[in-house]
């Protein structure tokens, strides 16, 4: 006999846990199925920014803001060709709901620092959860447990069960055993993005992007596949956030992951964090920056070069996305960024930083040498720095010589690499951060089919239900994951029990 629930949620990342908790708040019997051994998804490795207007935190900071002005400002973030494809009405609806979601999350005991400015937003709107995005997962999971909902890990949903047009449940592989679960009110797809699904990327974005990986290796687009199989309309599947260069993460857990994300200790941390002097907060957040942020393009415009694992230069570093595409076909798909004395000096102080989360913190060469010794090493000679990075010094010397000799005396834009000390940063890889394609949904998060009618019993949230929105600017993906989850839980429980 298949177990029966009111609501089944596919995926225990940010949007899935929000949807599950929201449905449980309405009195629903809820099952969450998560394919990984633990909840979290991409949400669990994110920085944690949540951008919204007219929040209580803004009011406490004396900022008078409104969703209407946010709606105007947000359209200035994407390039015009991307903005032309944005789903304006849905985005406006979302931005009107975001502050309510923010207060709902604060009600779970989550603490935020900020708000931080991010132009062209006219007001500071970026709220950063403390100590990091893992706190969303911990708080929602705890709240869900207290409502008596069931969460199964190692439970990959393979297909949807249908009765006629209606989605009535799922089939999942749970600890290696195939099981069926029935939902009387609805199935909510919350399975994240497809940044690491090579087939989907090649099909929608182009064959040349096939080799580029997603930051989250488990972001395989299962929800998109399930939605498509059910007849959903998928839009903007070619739009991606990235590819961009990022430092390969350390094999050690980042500092923030060690901090308590739930329980009394986390509340204490939150209370302390909001009272910490801003320089101390910045230094904490800087650790996150050097974990995931990408090296600024300005580094390459200023003359830094990329060397592959064999010490060879392989591309014009200033050309995007050729650089990322070329990097993905190098040995082990990795490269190193070489800085000479001039670049080390330049990238040691504002306004020349290696990476940033705008207006939160900036990381310079010294920060990388101190906080990420696994991706930053210094040497007085080229041979020494190459050796420290495990590269062939002869090949590195030859690459630098050939590059510097190739620069025209009249090309003032680029300067030759001159002399030590040297710094080699890396390995870096080209990654997709996330993808912007998703199912079309209505304001109840019900999935809309190719024929324009809803697919009964099926909902999509977070990256599965982006509905044509392209969420440029920091903090909108998490705001959407949580908002769409909250709304789907309410809507699903408001439908008639079958």
Ligand X SMILES: Cc1cc2nc3c(=O)[nH]c(=O)nc-3n(C[C@H](O)[C@H](O)[C@H](O)COP(=O)(O)OP(=O)(O)OC[C@H]3O[C@@H](n4cnc5c(N)ncnc54)[C@H](O)[C@@H]3O)c2cc1C
Residues of this chain, 250-289, that bind ligand X according to CB under 6 A: none
- Give the one residue of 67, 78, 243, 475 binding ligand X; rule: CB under 6 A: 475
Rg (CA), the chain: 24
Query: Does 99 engage in binding with ligand X (CB under 6 A)?
Result: no
* 198 binding ligand X? (CB under 6 A): no
Taking each helix axis as running N to C, give the angle between helix 476-494 and helix 88-106, from 0 to 180 degrees, rounded to the nearest 10: 90
Cα separation, 183 vs 201, whole angstroms: 32
Coil, helix or strand for 74?
A: helix
Stretch that binds ligand X, among 86-94, 329-337, 371-379, 476-484 (CB under 6 A): 476-484
Q: Torsions phi, psi of 348, nearest 5?
A: -110, 0
**What are phi and psi for residue 396, nearest 5 degrees?**
-65, -45
Task: Please give the helix or strand (H or E) that residue 422 lies within, else none.
Answer: strand 422-432
42 touches ligand X by CB under 6 A: yes
Binding-site member from 43, 184, 233, 446 for ligand X (CB under 6 A): 43
**Minimum CB–partner distance for residue 481 and ligand X (Å):** 4
**Residue whose structure tokens are 């182009």:** 206
Is position 47 an interface residue for ligand X (rule: CB under 6 A)?
Answer: yes
Quote the least distance from Cβ 310 to ligand X, whole Å.
Answer: 28
Q: How far is the CB of 7 from ligand X (least distance, A)?
A: 15
Residue number with CB closer to ligand X (244 or 317): 244
How far is the C-alpha of 73 from the C-alpha of 77, rounded, in Å?
8
Residue span binding ligand X (CB under 6 A) among the ranges 12-20, 61-69, 93-101, 299-307 = 12-20
Could you tell me the smallest distance in angstroms from the CB atom of residue 229 to ligand X?
A: 12
DSSP-derived secondary structure letter, 249: P
Task: Rule CB under 6 A: choose which of 5, 7, 8, 10 binds ligand X.
Answer: 10
Give the C-alpha separation, 135 to 113, whole Å: 13
- The answer to whether residue 115 forms part of the interface with ligand X (CB under 6 A) is no
Query: Residue 229 or residue 345: which is nearer to ligand X going by CB?
Result: 229
Question: Which of 5, 8, 15, 491: binder of ligand X (CB under 6 A)?
Answer: 15
- Residue whose tokens read 């910045």: 282
Q: Of 152 and 269, which has the nearer Cβ to ligand X?
A: 152
Q: Which is nearer to ligand X, 34 or 302 (CB)?
A: 34
- The answer to whether 34 contacts ligand X (rule: CB under 6 A) is yes
Cβ nearer to ligand X, comparing 187 with 339? 187
Q: Kindly state whether residue 36 participates in binding ligand X, applying the rule CB under 6 A.
A: yes
Tokens of 45: 């490795």
- Sole binder of ligand X in the list 33, 201, 284, 417 (CB under 6 A): 33
CB 36 within 8 A of CB 216: no
List 337's β-bridge partners, or say none: 306, 425
Euclidean distance between CA atoms 262 and 17, whole angstroms: 15
CB 195 within 8 A of CB 219: yes
Distance between CA atoms of 201 and 432, rounded to whole angstroms? 10
Look up tokens 């060879």; give the residue.
312
The answer to the question of residue 48 lying near ligand X (CB under 6 A) is yes
Residue given tokens 């907060």 in the structure block: 281
Q: Does 156 bind ligand X (CB under 6 A)?
A: yes
What is the rounded distance in angstroms from the CA atom of residue 35 to the CA atom of residue 174?
A: 8
Query: Chain centroid to CA 2: how far?
Result: 35
How many binding residues for ligand X (CB under 6 A)?
Answer: 42
Nearest distance in Å: CB 471, ligand X: 8
Among all residues, whose Cβ is closest to ligand X? 13
CB of 43 to ligand X, least distance (A): 3
What residue has token string 């009249």? 410
Helices (H), 254-364: 255-258, 263-275, 278-292, 298-301, 322-327, 341-346
Out of 157, 285, 290, 441, name the contact with ligand X by CB under 6 A: 157
Among 138, 476, 488, 491, binds ligand X (CB under 6 A): 476
Tell which positions 206-225 bind ligand X, by CB under 6 A.
Answer: 215-216, 218-219, 222
> CA-CA distance, 387 to 257, in Å (whole number)?
31
CB of 414 to ligand X, least distance (A): 31
Cα 435 from Cα 441, distance rounded (Å): 17
State the nearest-atom distance from the C-beta of 409 to ligand X, in Å.
42
Kindly tell me which of 315 and 479 has the beta carbon lying closer to ligand X.
Answer: 479
If the CB atoms of residues 109 and 249 are measured against ligand X, the closer one turns out to be 249
Q: How far apart are CA 214 and CA 419, in angstroms?
A: 36
The contact set with ligand X (CB under 6 A) reads 10-16, 33-36, 39-43, 45-49, 156-157, 190-192, 215-216, 218-219, 222, 292, 433-434, 462-463, 474-478, 481
């Amino acid at each position: 006999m298949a177990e029966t629930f009111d609501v089944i949620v596919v995926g225990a990342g940010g949007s899935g846990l929000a949807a599950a908790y929201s449905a449980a708040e309405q009195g629903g019997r809820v099952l969450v199925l998560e394919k990984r051994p633990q909840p979290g998804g991409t949400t669990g490795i994110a920085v944690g920014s949540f951008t919204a207007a007219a929040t209580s935190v803004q009011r406490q900071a004396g900022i008078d803001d409104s969703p209407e002005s946010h709606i105007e400002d947000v359209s200035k973030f994407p390039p015009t060709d991307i903005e032309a494809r944005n789903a304006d009405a849905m985005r406006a609806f979302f931005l009107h709901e975001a502050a309510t979601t923010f207060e709902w999350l604060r009600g779970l005991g989550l603490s935020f620092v900020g708000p931080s400015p991010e132009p062209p937003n006219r007001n500071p709107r970026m709220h950063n959860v403390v100590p990091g995005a893992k706190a969303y997962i911990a708080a929602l999971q705890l709240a869900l447990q207290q409502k008596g909902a069931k969460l199964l890990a190692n439970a990959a949903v393979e297909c949807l069960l249908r009765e006629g047009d209606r989605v009535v449940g799922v089939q999942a592989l749970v600890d290696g055993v195939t099981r069926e679960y029935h939902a009387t009110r609805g199935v909510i797809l919350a399975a994240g993005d497809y940044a690491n699904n090579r087939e989907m990327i090649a099909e929608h974005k182009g064959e040349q992007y096939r080799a580029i990986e997603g930051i989250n290796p488990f972001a395989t687009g299962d929800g998109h596949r399930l939605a498509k199989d059910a007849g959903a309309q998928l839009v903007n599947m070619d739009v991606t956030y990235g590819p961009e260069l990022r430092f390969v993460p350390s094999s050690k857990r980042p500092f923030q992951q060690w901090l308590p994300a739930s329980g009394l200790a986390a509340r204490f941390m939150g209370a302390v964090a909001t009272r910490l002097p801003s320089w101390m907060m910045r230094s904490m957040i800087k650790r996150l920056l050097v974990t995931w942020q990408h090296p600024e393009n300005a580094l390459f415009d200023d003359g830094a070069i990329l060397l592959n694992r064999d010490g060879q230069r392989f591309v014009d570093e200033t050309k995007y996305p050729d650089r990322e595409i070329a990097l993905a076909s190098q040995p082990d798909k990795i490269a190193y960024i070489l800085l000479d004395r001039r670049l080390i000096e330049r990238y040691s102080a504002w306004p020349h930083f290696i990476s940033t989360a705008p207006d939160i913190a900036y990381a310079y060469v010294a920060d990388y040498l101190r906080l990420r010794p696994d991706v930053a090493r210094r040497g007085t000679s080229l041979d020494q720095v190459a050796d420290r990075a495990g590269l062939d010094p002869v090949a590195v010397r030859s690459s630098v010589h050939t590059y510097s000799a190739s620069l025209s005396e009249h090309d003032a834009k680029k300067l030759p690499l001159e002399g030590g000390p040297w710094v080699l940063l890396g390995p870096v890889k080209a990654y997709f951060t996330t993808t912007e394609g998703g199912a079309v949904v209505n304001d109840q998060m019900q999935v809309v089919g190719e024929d324009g009618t809803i697919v009964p019993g099926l909902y999509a949230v977070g990256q599965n239900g982006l509905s044509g929105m392209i969420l440029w600017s920091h903090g909108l993906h998490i705001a959407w994951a949580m908002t769409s989850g909250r709304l789907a839980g309410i809507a699903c429980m408001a439908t008639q029990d079958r």
